[in-house]
């Protein structure tokens, strides 16, 4: 790890600690595949969807945004009737769950494209298929949660707008950029879920179970994507490295904007004034810091790989991807 990385990300992420120092890249990939056999979850067998405490009540105070979350901090939100505060909080969660399904669909398509370039005896081929299976179980969990929440969450279409097919094809044509996309989607959400689980705030048991399963398996996916990049980016021709350096901040900014902001549908449904959205998100220094912090690990990796250069650092700063003072 370079001194620059240390300055940006002080904590060594948990999934990094899993890697033994002398383990080769091939051995690591094989080990991750074996872990998929011994430690994996089924969306239906491993979640007690019909337990007595699993029912979802839209007015449950546990859905309310706490005062340290973007809307929770606004006077507008606090002035809403309690059932509306709870339902709006639940609707924000449902939107993220729906985005999760859409993101994972592109991820699975890209992983299959990636595997199509490999011989069947490559360790990455087996690993990619394990990850496709795990993401399919995640999407089934998310789907079941959405069904039980029962709020309208339209297909967001944002992934389509940013060229979902193009992203999936990257799995075959430019896997380094594809796995950066994977990290850009997985790490901020993983970080936000860990933060929720650590916070000690009351969490609905179904949501807690889904999050715990998700962070357990995501640690593997994040580990693979990071090690794939560490192994392959230094071997890229200069032109492709430059393309990666330029596209990395653009991709990360687009992903986090979509994942960490309320959807237009939620804004319309609850008639949220635009000044409230601006105060909660766009002009909210605490929210910007939260987003920048959630990207600390992927940003640290980009620094380590030499992708944050003299030329691209201003783009990172401009897009709000650097922590203040970085
Ligand atoms: Fe997932
Ligand atoms: Fe994943």
Ligand number with the minimum distance to the CA of 210: 1
Going from the Cα of 135 to the center of ligand 2, the distance in angstroms, rounded, reads 6
Ligand number with the minimum distance to the CA of 131: 2
Ligand number with the minimum distance to the CA of 179: 2
Structure tokens of 115? 């595997």
Who surrounds ion ligand 2 at CB < 5 A? 218, 221
242-247, Cβ contacts within 8 angstroms, sequence gap of 24 or more: 243/174, 243/177, 244/176, 244/177, 244/180, 244/307, 245/306, 245/307, 245/308, 245/309, 245/311, 245/312, 246/312, 246/315, 247/177, 247/180
**Whether pLDDT at 97 is above 70:** yes
* pTM (two decimals): 0.89
Name the percent of the chain lying above pLDDT 90.
66
Most confident of 126-135, 148-157, 261-270: 126-135
Contact yes or no for 70/281 (Cβ under 8 A): yes
**Which position has the token pair 């990850």?**
131
DSSP assignment letter at 54: G
Contact yes or no for 270/84 (Cβ under 8 A): yes
Q: Who has greater pLDDT, 326 or 162?
A: 162
């Amino acid at each position: 790890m370079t001194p620059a990385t240390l300055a940006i990300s002080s904590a060594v992420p948990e999934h990094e600690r899993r890697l033994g120092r002398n383990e080769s890249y091939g051995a690591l990939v094989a080990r991750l595949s074996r872990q998929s056999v011994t430690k994996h979850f089924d969306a239906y067998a491993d979640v007690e969807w019909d337990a007595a405490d699993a029912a979802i009540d839209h007015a449950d105070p546990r859905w309310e945004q706490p005062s340290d979350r973007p809307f929770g901090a606004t006077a507008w939100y606090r002035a809403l009737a309690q059932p509306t505060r709870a339902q709006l909080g639940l609707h924000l969660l449902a939107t993220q769950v729906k985005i999760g399904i859409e993101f994972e669909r592109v991820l699975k398509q890209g992983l299959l494209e990636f595997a199509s370039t490999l011989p069947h005896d490559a360790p990455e081929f087996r690993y990619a298929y394990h990850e496709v299976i795990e993401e399919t179980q995640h999407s089934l969990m998310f789907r079941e949660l959405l069904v039980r929440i029962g709020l309208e969450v339209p297909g967001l279409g944002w992934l389509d707008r940013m060229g979902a097919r193009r992203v999936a094809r990257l799995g075959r044509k430019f896997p380094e950029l594809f796995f950066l996309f994977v990290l850009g989607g997985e790490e901020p959400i993983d970080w936000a879920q860990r933060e929720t689980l650590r916070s000690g705030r009351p969490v609905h048991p179904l949501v807690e179970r889904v999050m715990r399963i998700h962070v357990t398996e995501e640690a593997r996916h994040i580990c693979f994507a990071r090690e794939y990049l560490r192994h392959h980016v230094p071997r890229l021709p200069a032109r492709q490295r430059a393309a990666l350096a330029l596209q990395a901040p653009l991709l990360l900014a687009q992903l986090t904007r979509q994942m960490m902001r309320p959807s237009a549908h939620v804004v319309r449904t609850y008639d949220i004034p635009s000044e409230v959205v601006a105060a909660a998100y766009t002009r909210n220094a605490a929210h910007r810091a939260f987003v920048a912090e959630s990207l600390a690990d992927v940003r640290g990796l980009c620094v380590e790989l030499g992708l944050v250069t003299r030329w691209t650092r201003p783009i990172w700063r401009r897009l709000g991807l650097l922590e203040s003072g970085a």
